[in-house]
Amino acid sequence: MTTTTLLHLDSSTGAGDSVSRALTARFAAAWRARHGTAGRHRHRDLAADPVPVVRAAYESLGRRAGARGALPPDAVAALVEGAGEEREWALTRPLVEELRAADTLLLGAPMYNFTVSAGLKAWIDRVTFPGVLHDPGTGEALLRDTRVVVVATRGGGYGPGTPREHCDFQVPYLRAHFGNLGVAAENLHVVVAELTRAADDPALAGLRPLAARSLADAGARLDALAAAG
Ligand SMILES: Cc1cc2nc3c(=O)[nH]c(=O)nc-3n(C[C@H](O)[C@H](O)[C@H](O)COP(=O)(O)O)c2cc1C
């Protein structure tokens, strides 16, 4: 039996009322139902159990590793010098290996101050360690065939032609980042549920129908993605 792995990350600080958590949970449930015992579902909560931000020793080790081009985690371990780098690599390596092992990466990514949450950014900084996401033999991106499903939520509206379109540093950032990591364009799926604050912000009350449609569309897209792989 061929197994397949879903790495499911949530980064919203919201609990019961988090839209991204509800949507990623919906995708994960459908994915588990589809794959049964062949599916391995790994969940990581970057808000409740935050990844420490990178420190100076991460950078010193990263620079020495990066100078060698693509390299496997074992080769990075052999480059570690001193307690600081040991600590940084011990924090980084499990996250890198978890990502390398994932067939599907599911990311709950709320907008905080026009971009992603600090919790998600800390994870991105750690896993994007120089050289370890490329094949040492071919130089090819290891994430090329990884399916990435981003669930992007935000309180306001940032669609084409809206007054705040230019303030969206969430979706364009995530697209640029995963594209830069080598994820193939056809494997990168960004599902947006916006105007989530319309439910409780009187200034957005008139936009409630649009918010409801955005949420329904996001759910339907996630159901289709879960059914497809
Ligand atoms: C710290 C913080 C900053 C936020 N900044 C923005 C923002 O810049 N733009 C926006 O549209 N909504 C902003 N929001 C609202 C959230 O994007 C919105 O509540 C979204 O639904 C959060 O995702 P969640 O429902 O998955 O928790 C912010 C919320 C928080 C807690």
What domains are there in the chain, each with its CATH number? 4-228 (3.40.50.360)
Residue with tokens 């600080």: 13
Give the pLDDT mean for 142-147.
98
What's the CA gap between 215 and 212, in Å, rounded? Answer: 5
pLDDT band at 16 (very low <50, low <70, confident <90, very high): confident
What's the CA gap between 44 and 13, in Å, rounded? Answer: 13
Residue 111 CB–ligand 1 contact under 6 Å: yes
Residue with tokens 């390596």: 93
pLDDT band at 151 (very low <50, low <70, confident <90, very high): very high
Give the pLDDT mean for 87-110.
98
Residue 3's pLDDT is: 93
Pairing of β 104-110 and β 39-45: unpaired
Residue 15's pLDDT is: 83
**Taking phi first (over 0 means left), then psi (-120 to 50 degrees means alpha), and beta for anything else, what does residue 82 get?**
left
- 110 CA closest ligand 1 atom index: 23
**Minimal-distance CA residue to ligand 1 atom 31:** 112
pLDDT tens, 23-76?
Answer: 999 999 999 999 999 999 999 999 999 999 999 999 999 999 999 999 999 999
> To test the ligand 1 pocket, which listed residue (154, 195, 201, 210) has its Cβ within 8 A of the most ligand atoms?
154
User: What percent of the chain is modeled with pLDDT above 70?
Assistant: 100
